[in-house]
Structure 1
């Protein structure tokens, strides 16, 4: 009898701990999403203004130069923040080592970018790229000088200071780039914004997370264990991430590349504003329960479904409403971006199924899993991209991304099964409610989209908002009904019910109860 009571007490304790951890994770994700939505709004506002002041050719030229900077920066990416978050305790020695490694990495990045400027410009037969790359190469060096003190808050799922620093950074960059565009009226305005962003970030990070810089490599062994695998993974990720622009820049005009780049940036807005904030706290959560494999497997499946449930309707909406949205926001000279944006949005849905995998691999101390994930994508994406871009241009590049996205998602699901024992079928079946609700969303948007054809200006903006709102309402209703029919299992639906709907109803009942008692 005593053993049964002890077991029941332990079970209740575990359940309560899981609910508390889930609540903290949801709260942290909500803060991150709110902050990221605001910063993406600022970036989108900047894009709107710059798209009116500049031309597709300007964006195309910068896209070519930034391809080199982005690849080099991604290759030399170090998992400094992730390593510290996975630790239970962080000392001053850890922070000093993190700062030193970041500073050394930043300096190396700038030197590598500068050394590559001439051969890169020669490959693209554009001498102007040399001085552009020299100027842009300063940005990654500056990014390594921020305060590592922010990781102390991130480890405890407290992201308010980091969000505040990012808000200051993006707002300052907006002011600088728009002012430069108004004055210069060419691609140099984009360069001003790119360099201003890390500069403002440094100042904001030290103001919100004070830290006295010290050079030290005392905790180097802690980071060294991850460097071999993650460096290889970052190299492959950089190639996967930028190979489309790198290849297209050689075979299409700057104007076409500018259209592709803007469409690509717009398609990634949901991923950056919604998905990354959701995924980011997962490393801390998975690390806390890494030794409880059954609980970890359940948490992973729930997290994967939550990512899909939030990201899929937004990407589907972006696809179906791309035509009126681009016409309203960017104007006639960017209409060529509409079909590109539509298809690129769809290619980002399969990766949602495996978005938490990188956090899972890091939490289980399996950085080689990251390398396997990137290698799987590389094997399919790059050859397809070369063939598609050379023979079919932008359309071929989009097709290559679609095929590689689907293939990579299936391979990563197999890798997940090997890590935590969750079958591919179980990972897919867990998403049936989201897929059913997404079908309802598509039907509503497809039926109502023709009504936007004759609208313009404010009427078009209101029409887009109304159509999107109706689609999301139908999506939420179908998702809720499917969840109820399935027996109200734990997941994003139950979290939304308990943390949003129940609290709203309680607040509404409160004043009424007081009025009755009076």
Structure 2
């Protein structure tokens, strides 16, 4: 019998926390595989394409991500509603198509304006973006009901198969064409795969209807505005660097931020997708929303912070080995932005809490103000070259963190710094890890004369993982083993051990 997203036939033995934990673990496993594949794709295509190619690609991928963001926000109302009807599904699908057509027309008619920039490649990309607008729009709204029901395995499948299609085509076409169009075609094919997957897993025969437009538009209009402002503030550094410093510097910045995103945002984006459905479900059925908010923040810091800091510590080794000497100049981008990107992941829980509360206008105003601040800071920074732009990008991310903490105060139980304080064990453990990895680096190179080899990266990574984990557990034990991230991890390990023991029996 085919699985239906309209009901949640989860076994009664699974608690809500267990369902969220299992969902997060499933998506994390998928994320590790996909981003490992993503790193392989970057390593190969970076040796086949030029920094200028990646500068052009950056504009195309930013536009594609913007289309995806808009389309996802249209359907987010389905997760928040108490009762989803077929009319709601038809209305969401209709809005998806309407927006896709509008975006396609906008990109097509923008060709004369973009031509004024004097970069022919960007003008040539606009017809492809028009077609992409329509492809991204054709997805099954019913698929979102799996997320609503805290069933994330199908989401992992969507992300994984689309990444496989993208990676195979990006590598093979880059090998034959040695041109940025390889990434364009691969991205297009990956989006087609997403649409096919959603309709095959959650089939529906949609019809054009706007009967529930009030429910959809009142929520989506503010969320789309908020997400657009946030998206632009996140990508303004890339756009401003490309427009003022040239495509080569834009390519270096793109590779640096892409690597940071793989290790922080994109590796754990599937886990972040658990947050909003989880908080919405928690708020609908319990009064534990604030406590859940605190635990989610602590979990983010415990996972993202060591990954980002650890990656910054081995970034030069990784770039030298896998991308080549040409791209070593991108390492400072990682040093500056990786820790800040990890901290800014807290905005995912804040955004989810705002969605659940329904005060999406607050998020819009926050993001709009932040966009203005980022543009001003970046414009000043690029006047001092690439290094000035990099410092400005760091300050822009710091401004985003401050704005996040201001809003987070209304959802927590403590003060302004509570979302950070709840992860104090993670900060201390990262500090210890940093000292250990730096010491290991100097010892290995002095004793073994190893430089930029997989061996030294593995040894440094192992030293970092062991020191971070041991310090975290020791601090948790000293603090009296409070109910937190560590409790959930040990609980999951216990369930896994029992499951394996039962299977052997």
Q: What are the superposed Cα offsets for residues 471-497 of structure 1, whole Å, 9 maximum, x if unpaired? A: 111111111111111121111110011
Whole-angstrom distance in 2 between the partners of 1:172 and 1:411: 37
Aligned counterpart, 2:41: 46
Q: TM-score, normalised by structure 1?
A: 0.88
Aligned counterpart, 1:411: 403
Q: What are the superposed Cα offsets for residues 75-130 of structure 1, whole Å, 9 maximum, x if unpaired? A: x556233210112332222221121111111121111122223212312x122321
Cα separation, partners in 2 of 1:187 and 1:120, compared to 1, 3 Å: same
Structure 2: state its 5+ residue gaps: 1-11
Aligned counterpart, 2:3: none
Cα separation, partners in 2 of 1:399 and 1:77, compared to 1, 3 Å: farther
Aligned counterpart, 2:199: 206
* Contact kept in structure 2, 1:377 and 1:405, CA below 8 Å: no
Q: What are the superposed Cα offsets for residues 224-267 of structure 1, whole Å, 9 maximum, x if unpaired? A: 11233223213312320221121111222322211111111111
Whole-angstrom distance in 1 between the partners of 2:196 and 2:287: 44
- Single out whichever of 309-318 and 125-134 deviates more from structure 2: 125-134
Whole-angstrom distance in 2 between the partners of 1:106 and 1:132: 17
Whole-angstrom distance in 2 between the partners of 1:33 and 1:410: 28
Aligned counterpart, 2:276: 283
Aligned counterpart, 1:438: 430
Q: What are the superposed Cα offsets for residues 24-59 of structure 1, whole Å, 9 maximum, x if unpaired? A: 111111111111222222222222221122111211
Whole-angstrom distance in 2 between the partners of 1:92 and 1:41: 38
Aligned counterpart, 1:97: 91
Cα separation, partners in 2 of 1:375 and 1:18, compared to 1, 3 Å: farther
1:67 CA displacement: 4.3
Aligned counterpart, 1:423: 415
3-state SS of paired residue (2:345): helix
* Contact kept in structure 2, 1:240 and 1:382, CA below 8 Å: yes
Whole-angstrom distance in 2 between the partners of 1:510 and 1:32: 24
* Contact kept in structure 1, 2:264 and 2:342, CA below 8 Å: no
- Single out whichever of 305-314 and 233-242 deviates more from structure 2: 233-242
Cα separation, partners in 2 of 1:23 and 1:68, compared to 1, 3 Å: closer
Whole-angstrom distance in 2 between the partners of 1:427 and 1:72: 31
Cα separation, partners in 2 of 1:427 and 1:165, compared to 1, 3 Å: closer
Aligned counterpart, 2:77: 83
1:437 CA displacement: 0.9
Whole-angstrom distance in 1 between the partners of 2:431 and 2:138: 46
Matched residue count = 491
Aligned counterpart, 1:236: 229
Q: What are the superposed Cα offsets for residues 153-205 of structure 1, whole Å, 9 maximum, x if unpaired? A: 11111122222122222211222222221221112212211222212222222
Q: TM-score, normalised by structure 2?
A: 0.90
Whole-angstrom distance in 2 between the partners of 1:421 and 1:374: 23
Whole-angstrom distance in 2 between the partners of 1:494 and 1:487: 12
Aligned counterpart, 1:216: 209
Whole-angstrom distance in 2 between the partners of 1:422 and 1:82: 29
Which of 25, 28, 32 in structure 1 is aligned with 2:27? 32
Aligned counterpart, 1:7: none
Aligned counterpart, 1:108: 102
* Contact kept in structure 2, 1:102 and 1:145, CA below 8 Å: yes
Cα separation, partners in 2 of 1:248 and 1:234, compared to 1, 3 Å: same
1:358 CA displacement: 0.5
* Contact kept in structure 2, 1:388 and 1:396, CA below 8 Å: yes
Q: Are residue 155 (structure 1) and residue 139 (structure 2) matched?
A: no
Aligned counterpart, 1:450: 442
1:369 CA displacement: 2.6
3-state SS of paired residue (1:424): coil
Whole-angstrom distance in 1 between the partners of 2:54 and 2:363: 32
* Contact kept in structure 1, 2:412 and 2:418, CA below 8 Å: no
1:469 CA displacement: 2.0
Alignment of 1:343-492 (within 5 A): 343-389=336-382, 391-450=383-442, 454-455=449-450, 460-492=453-485
* Contact kept in structure 2, 1:230 and 1:371, CA below 8 Å: yes
Whole-angstrom distance in 2 between the partners of 1:69 and 1:296: 34
1:509 CA displacement: 8.0
Cα separation, partners in 2 of 1:86 and 1:495, compared to 1, 3 Å: same
- Single out whichever of 159-168 and 328-337 deviates more from structure 2: 159-168
> In terms of Rg, which structure is larger?
1
* Contact kept in structure 1, 2:408 and 2:419, CA below 8 Å: no
* Contact kept in structure 2, 1:143 and 1:198, CA below 8 Å: yes
Cα separation, partners in 2 of 1:360 and 1:328, compared to 1, 3 Å: same
